[in-house]
Amino acid sequence: MKIKVDLDLCQGHSVCIAEAPEVFDVIESTDGYPQVLVLDKSPSEELYTKVRAAAKYCPNNVITLIED
């Protein structure tokens, strides 16, 4: 699995951190909104469930998962 994030639409709600803190963080941005930072763009299989939940519950639907 690979993770892609649309930073133009991210508003830093931090739902992804609540679901998968091993994979996501949120940092301050100069564009007005905090933005997601992907800590692990190719997470291990044991994190797939958490990463899928992060993508599913993202309020702005900015996380795209590319299955291998």
3-state secondary structure of 46: helix
Q: What pLDDT, in 10s, does the model give residues 30-41?
A: 777 899 999 999
pTM of the entire predicted model: 0.90
Q: Are 9 and 60 in contact (CB under 8 A)?
A: yes
Distance of CA 40 to the CA centre of its chain: 10
Q: What is the pLDDT of residues 33-66, one digit of tens each?
A: 899 999 999 999 999 999 999 999 999 999 999 9
Rounded CA gap, 25 and 28, in Å? 10
- Give me the mean pLDDT over the 6-29 stretch: 94
CB 51 within 8 A of CB 1: yes
Domains defined for the chain, CATH in brackets: 2-66 (3.30.70.20)
Where residue 3 falls among pLDDT bands split at 50, 70, 90?
very high
Q: What is the pLDDT of residue 43?
A: 95
